[in-house]
């Protein structure tokens, strides 16, 4: 293969890897190793090295910057890598129009020029010679970004009510690194400001907010206060200013009736104001949201629990300014959850800590209990169970009560990791000759790693072995392992069966015996024929015959006695003869002579 054809193959492989989404850096290294043998054959003994490598640089956004890369006498492919991803092949960076590869190619110069540095150019760069399989040191390009023009909230004119302090807030956004803010008045720095920074989503730029408090005695009408923001990208800084305009806005009083009030009842807000000049506008809001249906001095509404913590404000405006007052409502409401308790999974012997928080008005009471138990475990937001045992597992309830208002509760589950617990009947029943089952119920957290049945010299964990089959199923309550025995024989009732379960915390074992069920469970009466000796059967038959003869003799004797009484009765009592005849006709199966014979 000709060298030019091999180079083309390298490029095609590189582009194909990009289409597949492969890491370009890794692809470039693969290309280098593929081409290394070619260069060894073409340039036997030639060793390449960098005469110039890219260095760490700092550049201000919008300015050009060049990263150096020179490899004398090397005329193969050179790749520029940005944060591990290739920018293009050789000097072709058409996918990145802001990048150019400059320098004398014949002299081995492959410098990367960024025409106008931007924030996305803030990265680590590396120059790689593919066929020579060498790469430069990584170079960090740091792009500095000046802040946006600073903004003072409420500017450019700040209207101030007479006698009130001045609070100014200035923010400078989108800077890298974060800007520094100073406040100036008449060219002198004002101390005492507070600051807070926020990192933006790109993880590189930051915004800063500064708040300045000035007491009433230090504020003058018409005074100018400057906010100046600087960083390394703009040492001279950017600034903005506001002018203080001290005015006399309306004097406002805001009242709420009735208070306290139960949730879902109506209250009236009354916003009274004295103003000179006259009031021009009333504006109502709650939690910063304008209440469009309210426009005058009075606002009536049905309150819920939010009015306890979210104030309603009344802003009164005249030609000189506005005055805003706000009031919360003393709303009585039942418990509301503010911190949801979470179920826990802990190891045996560890501590379990539950937390739940409620809000309510008036003050509420918190009670922790275990579901099904009336014992109060805690009256605090936090319930701590020390060195939990497996019997501590279960449902726990965090209940909050606001007296005479309402109650609420949340339930959580405590799961305790520990060795398995087997709770099965130690004696189980089956029918001789039938299929029988022995069940082993296992509660285990974590679930059992292994369950095994053993009897005599046999051990079976699953599947079938001869007449024995083991099946295991999982339920919400635990795991049931069933040993099924087909065609049960007498010896099965003499065998001891052992069910054992293991998990990472230990094991438990249950010994189970199999007992033969009575034959009434199978046929409904009597014992199984094969289990009753023949002598017993004959004895039962003879006994039944004798009992039958005795019964018949008793009946005959009874009939004879009744017949004799009937004869005497007819000679002595004639008025009741009809009734006695009716009674005597029932047992006429034996004659009087037969009765005499039975008597003799």
Which tens digit of pLDDT belongs to each residue from 346-361? 999 999 999 999 999 9
Last residue of one domain, picked from the residues 499, 516, 533: 516
Least confident of 235-249, 373-387, 405-419: 235-249
Q: Has residue 432 been placed in a domain?
A: yes
- Of the candidates 42, 40, 106, the one whose C-alpha atom is nearest the C-alpha of residue 71 is 106
Edge-first strand order for the sheet with 180-185 is: 157-161, 234-247, 224-231, 180-185, 188-190
Residue-level pLDDT at 518: 73
Number of domains, the chain: 5
Cα 466 from Cα 469, distance rounded (Å): 8
CA distances for 222 relative to 77, 187, 211, angstroms:
68, 16, 20
Q: Do 512 and 440 belong to one domain?
A: yes
Q: Do 511 and 428 belong to one domain?
A: yes
CA distances for 470 relative to 249, 438, 491, angstroms:
88, 10, 19
User: β-strands 251-257, 65-67: how paired?
Assistant: unpaired
Least confident of 17-26, 66-75, 167-176, 296-305: 17-26
Q: Has residue 287 been placed in a domain?
A: yes
8 A C-beta contact, residue 181 and residue 240: no
8 A C-beta contact, residue 256 and residue 327: yes
Q: Do 315 and 340 belong to one domain?
A: no
Q: Do 409 and 342 belong to one domain?
A: yes
Looking at every residue in the chain, the average pLDDT score rounds to 82
Stretch 326-333: mean pLDDT: 94
Residue 284, pLDDT > 60, answer yes
Q: Do 120 and 182 belong to one domain?
A: no
Residue 3, pLDDT > 80, answer no
Q: Do 176 and 192 belong to one domain?
A: yes
Q: Do 354 and 375 belong to one domain?
A: yes
Give the DSSP H or E segment for 563: helix 534-572
- The domain in which residue 118 lies consists of 57-144
**Token code pair at residue 118:** 């931007």
Q: Write out pLDDT tens, residues 35-47.
A: 444 444 445 557 8
Q: Do 192 and 234 belong to one domain?
A: yes
Q: Could you tell me the CATH number of the domain that includes residue 95?
A: 2.60.40.10
Least confident of 55-69, 103-117, 510-524, 582-596: 582-596
């Amino acid at each position: 293969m000709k060298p030019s054809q091999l180079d083309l193959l390298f490029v095609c492989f590189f582009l194909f890897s990009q289409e597949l989404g492969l890491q370009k850096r890794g692809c470039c290294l693969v290309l280098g190793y593929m081409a290394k043998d070619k260069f060894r054959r073409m340039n036997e003994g030639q060793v390449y090295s960098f005469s110039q490598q890219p260095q760490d640089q700092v550049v201000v956004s919008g300015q050009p910057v060049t990263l150096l890369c020179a490899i004398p006498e090397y005329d193969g492919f050179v790749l520029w890598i940005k944060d591990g991803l290739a920018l293009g092949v050789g000097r072709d960076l058409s996918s990145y129009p802001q990048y150019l590869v400059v320098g004398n190619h014949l002299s081995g110069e492959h410098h990367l020029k960024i025409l106008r540095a931007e924030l996305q150019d803030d990265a680590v760069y590396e120059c790689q010679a593919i066929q020579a399989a060498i790469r430069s040191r990584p170079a960090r390009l740091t792009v500095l970004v000046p802040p946006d023009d600073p903004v003072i909230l409420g500017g450019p004119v700040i209207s101030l009510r007479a006698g009130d302090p001045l609070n100014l807030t200035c923010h400078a956004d989108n800077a890298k690194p974060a800007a520094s803010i100073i406040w100036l008045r008449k060219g002198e720095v004002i101390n005492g400001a507070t600051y807070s920074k926020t990192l933006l989503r790109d993880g590189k730029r930051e915004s800063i907010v500064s708040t300045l408090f000035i007491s009433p005695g230090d504020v003058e009408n018409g005074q100018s206060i400057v906010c100046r923001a600087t960083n390394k990208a703009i040492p001279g800084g950017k600034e903005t200013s506001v002018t203080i305009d001290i005015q006399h806005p309306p004097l406002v009083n805001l009242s709420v009736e009735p208070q306290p009030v139960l949730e879902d009842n109506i209250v009236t807000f009354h916003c009274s104001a004295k103003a000179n000049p006259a009031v021009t506008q009333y504006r109502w809001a709650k939690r910063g949201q304008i209440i469009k249906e309210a426009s005058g001095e009075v606002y009536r509404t049905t309150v819920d629990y939010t009015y306890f913590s979210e104030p309603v404000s009344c802003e009164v405006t005249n030609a000189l300014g506005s005055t805003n007052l706000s009031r919360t409502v003393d709303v009585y409401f039942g418990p509301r959850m503010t911190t949801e308790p979470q179920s826990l999974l802990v190891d045996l012997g560890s501590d379990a800590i539950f937390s739940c928080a409620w809000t309510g008005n008036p003050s509420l009471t918190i009670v922790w209990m275990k579901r099904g138990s009336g014992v109060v475990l805690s009256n605090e937001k936090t319930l701590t169970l020390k060195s939990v045992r497996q019997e501590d597992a279960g449902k726990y309830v965090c209940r909050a009560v606001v007296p005479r208002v309402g109650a609420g509760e949340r339930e959580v589950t405590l799961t305790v990791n520990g060795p398995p617990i087997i709770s099965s009947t130690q004696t189980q029943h089956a029918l001789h000759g039938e299929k029988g089952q022995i069940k082993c119920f296992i509660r285990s957290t974590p679930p059992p790693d292994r369950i095994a049945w053993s009897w005599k010299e046999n051990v079976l964990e699953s599947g079938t072995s001869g007449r024995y089959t083991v099946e295991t199923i999982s339920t919400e309550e635990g795991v049931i392992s069933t040993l099924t025995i087909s065609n049960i024989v007498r010896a099965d009732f003499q065998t001891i069966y052992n069910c054992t379960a293991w998990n990472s915390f230990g094991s438990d074992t249950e010994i189970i015996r199999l007992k033969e069920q009575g034959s009434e469970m199978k046929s409904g009466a009597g014992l199984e024929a094969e289990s009753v000796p023949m002598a017993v059967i004959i004895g039962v038959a003879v006994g039944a015959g004798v009992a039958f003869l005795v019964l018949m003799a008793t009946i005959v004797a009874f009939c004879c006695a009744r017949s004799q009484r009937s004869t005497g009765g007819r000679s002595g009592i004639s008025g009741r003869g009809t009734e006695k005849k009716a009674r005597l006709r029932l047992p006429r199966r034996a004659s009087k002579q037969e009765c005499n014979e039975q008597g003799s």
